[in-house]
Amino acid sequence: MKGAKQLAALAALSAALWSTALLAVDNTPPLPDPVMQQRYLDLTHELRCVQCQNEALADSNVPLAADLRLEIHDMLLAGKSDEEIRNYLVARYGEFILFRPRMNWHNAWLWAAPALMLLAGFGIAVRVMRKRASLPITDDDEATPAA
C-alpha cells in the first residue's frame, strides 16, 4: 500500500512539473484598453518565436519570447500600429518571425510554385493522353501464332 501511495505521489509530481513546463507564463501587465489588449494577443499569436522556431510568441516560455512580448507591449503603449510593430520585428529578425510571410519579389516563386506545378502536370497529362490516342489499336491475341 505504501508503494502505491509513493507511486501516485510521484505521478502527480511529474504531471505537475510537465504541465508547468508546457505553459508559457506571460508576465506582461494587462493593457489598459481591451481593444489594445486584443491587439497584443493577436500580435503575439501571429509572430513566431525566433528561438523555438515553431511556436508563437504567446506560447513560448523562453526568455527571448518574454522579452519580445514585453517589447510589443511597450510599443503598443507608445501608440505604434500593428504594421509598425511587424515592420520593426521583421527588420530586426527577418521575415522568419512572421507565421504568414508577406508576398514580395523575394518569395514570389513560393506563391507561384503550386500553380506552375499544377499547370505542368496538366500539360504532361494532356501530352500523354494525345500520344496514347494516336497509337494504332492492335490485338495481341491475333499476333501470336496458333499452336
Q: What are the tens digits of pLDDT across the range 69-101?
A: 999 999 999 999 999 999 999 999 988 898 887
Element (H, E) at 40: helix 34-46
- The string of DSSP codes covering 60-90 is --SHHHHHHHHHHHHHHHTT--HHHHHHHHH
Per DSSP, the three-state class of 85 is: helix
pLDDT along the chain (147 residues), means of 10: 66 58 65 90 92 87 91 94 94 88 78 92 96 82 58
Query: Are the beta carbons of 69 and 56 closer than 8 angstroms?
Result: no
pTM of the complete model beyond 0.75 = no
Q: How far apart are CA 74 and CA 31, in angstroms?
A: 10
Per DSSP, the three-state class of 17 is: helix
Query: Are the beta carbons of 43 and 80 closer than 8 angstroms?
Result: no
Q: What sign does the CA torsion over 95, 26, 19, 14 have?
A: positive
What is the structure's pLDDT at 32? 86
Contacts of 68 (CB under 8 A, 6+ apart): 47, 49, 57, 89
In the chain, at which residue ranges do the beta strands (DSSP E only) sit?
Answer: none
State the helix-helix crossing angle for 63-77 and 34-46, rounded to 10 degrees. Answer: 140
What is the structure's pLDDT at 116? 94
